[in-house]
Amino acid sequence: MKIDFEISMMRELKFFLGLQIKQVRNHIYIHQTKYVKELLKKFNLEDTKEMKIQVHPNTSLGLEKNLNQ
C-alpha cells in the first residue's frame, strides 16, 4: 500500500474504518470478521453454525440496478 498511497504510519495497517486488513506478500485481504462476531454476540447468535459458499473468482460485486425504473 505504501507504493500506491501516501501513508504516514509507523506500523503495518491492520484495522481501518471498521475493516480488518491483512497484507501478505503481494496481496491485500480485507474482511470484517471482528464486526460480524460483534453482531453475532449482540443478537445472541454466537453458537450458530457457519456456512461456506463458493463465489466464482471472476464475480464482480457492485450496486444492483433497479429493473423496474
Query: What pLDDT, on a 0 to 100 scale, did the predictor assign at position 5?
Result: 65
Say whether pLDDT at 30 is over 80: yes
Q: Which residues of 40-68 are buried (b: 16+ CB within 10 A; e: fewer)?
A: eeeeeeeeeeeeeeeeeeeeeeeeeeeee
**Residues 5-30: what's their mean pLDDT?**
75
pLDDT at 29: 82
Q: What was the pLDDT predicted at 18? A: 75
What percentage of the chain carries pLDDT values higher than 90?
12
